[in-house]
Structure 1
């Protein structure tokens, strides 16, 4: 027994532990003025706070079942991880979903699937799916843009995400032909790794602001001229997690590099205004969008969450009267959000994507404007079946945020706002970032996008279509209410989407405005690795 006793000054190890516990108990009873639990239950009370701090991890990995955890359950995360690692993403023994639950969707397959002719670009379902619409074609922009991928990376800023995370996503987008939205934090060196870029302008005008924080067209033009990979510009009006509230970047996450890119001071929280200073009404916003598009030559669109529909009626009317306006519209669902937001906003302000999109689409359909707009959808749509549903409602492109983060290692720790992200994805802590292997994570992003598109294509072919843009609103059923009545999306939301002008995928790939710098040789290598 003596061999197992450690002495320090003649005192056994267990006595030192007992002394430490007595010191903690003494401190809890006589000096703790903030925590009643620690005061009333010294020592033991600390266990309660420790278990609370690791609650999300306990629920995700031990307590919750496969379909229970939110915002993404274990099955959804598992599919993303397996796809990104190029592992088996199938499941066996049938679905474990409650297929009679409200809002469960059913995709109506054709009796005979679509058959691809020999020599077709997707003969092996390789995942080549360019956008069926061209951004800026209707408004005759100098540099129209056809995204080479129907799934792309949504707006996530450098600052909110780490340098290595941004770099991994950008290199992965380059490999897969997807575009990368910068988010409102400015264009960083880590967005400059070869992928097409959509530059987002938020209310803080980071990266394109003058010394007083006002928008600078001169800086924007200079940036676009020096970086030809910037293919479109997105004006952010609001985002799903916190519409009507400006973004917040805590001082702890602001490095010298970030302060220089954004044009802000260090040591102080960066709080974006909730409104734009360059315009005060919808007509002014439309004119501002048009001035950016004409000056830069790039397709310019808007991103917004959806609430009051009268605003969208007014926007459509103004666009019809002026005969110009946004080239694309990104509809962000209220269930979205990659950063920090007050629970009251994240839980209750703005509509979920399916209600938001269907309401807005009907407005633009009423004014006969759907043909000139590329509709971008975002809000937990990073799964093939959900994407098919989105296309059936009228979406042209899908943007993914948190799903893309998971492809490079995010574990849904829900600590994006604390600068303590354990995977290094959403932190500026150099040590936590050091575990990210950019080349490996870039390849995982590539595999996630390619396998996503491949499965979406297979669903499209199963329904008799060559491209997901051909989905109709009658092709998907959705369960309604607690009576488990399934009706088509057309019946549920009272409209049929307008037909998209589509001939063939080959024609899309031959388009002179096609982006993505598609490396077909690499795509074939990815295809072979997946097969």
Structure 2
């Protein structure tokens, strides 16, 4: 095929050359013919791509089609229920609410209600008038040791760093949060002037890189932390143990996003890839983690201190609970991130196959806190692909007190799910550090969209609760959500995720599904006891 293509282009070149002698305008076509012939020769002599070598020039259409594929898929082929990771149906509802457009749909659901896994909530004959409902539901976060409890909205902005997002995106999110009176999580990139500029409530996330409060060698700096944590705008502090995008892997900031400004804020070298460590250097055991929580609480003047994790080994979380029971010290909140991935760029295997999905993780964390009689002191925040009011309802029913949304807020900013977050070429200026692209994101307009998305989603939530006969989100529990498990059975959440009794994990009558994990858990180590025993035996045999 290679010879035929080169032969055809050579023949075309000769033909154009001959015609040019008799009809001079044909010389312009000769330029095109020469260019095509040169490209074909280059394709033939290169050794990097087999397709180009075997099919010179024609093989280039493959890359052109691959480049256009996401756009053709989304704008031509995709159905309302299609599209991943967020379907067009849910992207559309965010756009409609953010733009204050019509948000009703005609002619019934497009979902197949007889598919396995279909979920719903039952309505009530004791339904309430929507006007009777509180349209701004809130939850107080702060346990017995907290001196500055925070009254949080049910829906907030999840962790997304300046670096992952553009300056204008951070400004718009925080301005929207200020107007709607909900919090904005900084992400592990730390507190920046763009988080502070518009005065929205801040949850400062402290990751393993300790950005914004780190020494020159990357360790935790207590003085720098205290200076920023005591700012009035910082309402809570969140210690990031792991995240759903890449559980067990530190955060990644690509070199092309690490601008001199970001490097200065984070205390790193500009133009280099920044890989946060996979674990904290400030503590290495559950008991040390609890001490660190108390240390941050004292340094911040008694503000709520929490942890964020994607659930991995169940025994590790139980080990944390044992440490809480032993010391009498608890975090004020725990953010549970789904292992199904999020806004952060991550290797495929981490996004697809590491960490518990949100629903299972959320139920387990709630059960453990109840089982160790810690639930009254600790609030739970759910984070992971939360877009619609029903997704809020499901997580609140499973045990969450409030929810965070990252991708929902990005869509409200104008994200079109181009799946280019990790390329620095985000066409909407949301997830890029290219100033030309970021300039296209108008802070004033997009902040209004963030505000409206939050407001109208909460209105939809309370509208749903009025139909189910509930007065408050605190009345939701696992008995309210139904799932079609298969074609022969339907189960409620409390049947799929059985409840535990308060304090049941403190005694000897431990439910069977918890026994192994409780036995493995040790407050002196995140490692399971069985593994510690093996290491000890190996050490003895060597010595």
TM-score (norm 1): 0.87
1:463-502 alignment runs, 5 A limit = 463-481=468-486, 483=487, 485-495=489-499
How far did residue 56 of structure 1 move? 2.3
2:205 pairs with 1:200: yes
How far did residue 485 of structure 1 move? 2.2
8 Å contact kept, 1:208–1:216: yes
8 Å contact kept, 1:102–1:484: no
8 Å contact kept, 1:126–1:450: no
* Equivalent in the alignment of 1:19: 34
Q: Provide Cα deviations, 1:215-240, integer angstroms capped at 9, x if missing partner.
A: 01110111123x21100000000001
* Equivalent in the alignment of 1:180: 184
Match of residue 394, structure 1, among 385, 390, 399: 399
2:47 pairs with 1:33: yes
How far did residue 169 of structure 1 move? 0.4
* Equivalent in the alignment of 1:366: 371
Q: C-alpha distance in 2, partners of 1:321/1:430?
A: 51
| Over 3 Å off, 4+ runs | 8-15
* Equivalent in the alignment of 1:511: none
What SS is found at the alignment partner of 1:391?
Answer: helix
What SS is found at the alignment partner of 1:453?
Answer: helix
Q: Provide Cα deviations, 1:377-402, integer angstroms capped at 9, x if missing partner.
A: 01112210111111111111110001
* Equivalent in the alignment of 2:537: none
Q: Choose between structure 1 and 2: higher helix proportion.
A: 2
The change in CA–CA distance for 1:13 and 1:454 in structure 2 (over 3 A counts) is farther
How far did residue 497 of structure 1 move? 9.4
* Equivalent in the alignment of 1:108: 122
Q: C-alpha distance in 1, partners of 2:488/2:215?
A: 56
Match of residue 264, structure 2, among 260, 266, 287: 260
1:325-344 alignment runs, 5 A limit = 325-344=330-349
The change in CA–CA distance for 1:38 and 1:127 in structure 2 (over 3 A counts) is farther
Q: C-alpha distance in 2, partners of 1:42/1:127?
A: 63
* Equivalent in the alignment of 1:158: 162
The change in CA–CA distance for 1:322 and 1:126 in structure 2 (over 3 A counts) is closer
* Equivalent in the alignment of 1:418: 423
* Equivalent in the alignment of 2:409: 404
* Equivalent in the alignment of 1:130: 138
How far did residue 183 of structure 1 move? 0.3
How far did residue 262 of structure 1 move? 0.6
Q: C-alpha distance in 2, partners of 1:277/1:73?
A: 39
What SS is found at the alignment partner of 2:280?
Answer: coil
What SS is found at the alignment partner of 2:265?
Answer: helix
How far did residue 140 of structure 1 move? 3.0
8 Å contact kept, 2:149–2:303: yes
What SS is found at the alignment partner of 1:372?
Answer: coil
The change in CA–CA distance for 1:9 and 1:236 in structure 2 (over 3 A counts) is farther
Q: C-alpha distance in 2, partners of 1:438/1:98?
A: 39
What SS is found at the alignment partner of 1:191?
Answer: helix
8 Å contact kept, 2:154–2:403: yes
2:186 pairs with 1:171: no
8 Å contact kept, 1:309–1:360: no
Q: C-alpha distance in 2, partners of 1:496/1:15?
A: 80
Q: Provide Cα deviations, 1:268-293, integer angstroms capped at 9, x if missing partner.
A: 11110001001111111111011101
What SS is found at the alignment partner of 1:291?
Answer: helix
How far did residue 112 of structure 1 move? 2.1
Q: C-alpha distance in 2, partners of 1:106/1:391?
A: 14
Q: Which ranges of structure 2 fall in alignment gaps of 5 or more residues?
A: 1-19, 503-543
Q: C-alpha distance in 1, partners of 2:164/2:488?
A: 41
TM-score (norm 2): 0.86
Q: C-alpha distance in 2, partners of 1:304/1:48?
A: 41
The change in CA–CA distance for 1:355 and 1:35 in structure 2 (over 3 A counts) is same
Q: Provide Cα deviations, 1:334-365, integer angstroms capped at 9, x if missing partner.
A: 12310210001100000110111112211111
Q: C-alpha distance in 2, partners of 1:399/1:89?
A: 22
Q: C-alpha distance in 2, partners of 1:413/1:126?
A: 37
* Equivalent in the alignment of 1:212: 217
1:435-450 alignment runs, 5 A limit = 435-450=440-455
* Equivalent in the alignment of 1:507: none
* Equivalent in the alignment of 2:390: 385
Q: C-alpha distance in 2, partners of 1:480/1:17?
A: 62
Q: C-alpha distance in 2, partners of 1:141/1:489?
A: 33
8 Å contact kept, 1:287–1:325: no
Q: Provide Cα deviations, 1:129-181, integer angstroms capped at 9, x if missing partner.
A: 212xx222x2231211111x110000000000000000000001111111000
8 Å contact kept, 1:245–1:273: yes
* Equivalent in the alignment of 2:243: 239
* Equivalent in the alignment of 1:509: none
1:446-461 alignment runs, 5 A limit = 446-461=451-466
Q: C-alpha distance in 2, partners of 1:355/1:283?
A: 25
How far did residue 13 of structure 1 move? 4.1
Higher relative contact order (CA 8 A, sep 6+): 1
What SS is found at the alignment partner of 2:483?
Answer: strand
8 Å contact kept, 1:392–1:497: no
**Larger CA deviation: 265-274 vs 9-18:** 9-18
The change in CA–CA distance for 1:455 and 1:40 in structure 2 (over 3 A counts) is same
8 Å contact kept, 1:187–1:199: yes
2:89 pairs with 1:75: yes
Q: C-alpha distance in 1, partners of 2:124/2:48?
A: 64
Q: C-alpha distance in 2, partners of 1:308/1:54?
A: 41
2:111 pairs with 1:97: yes
* Equivalent in the alignment of 2:8: none
8 Å contact kept, 2:229–2:237: no
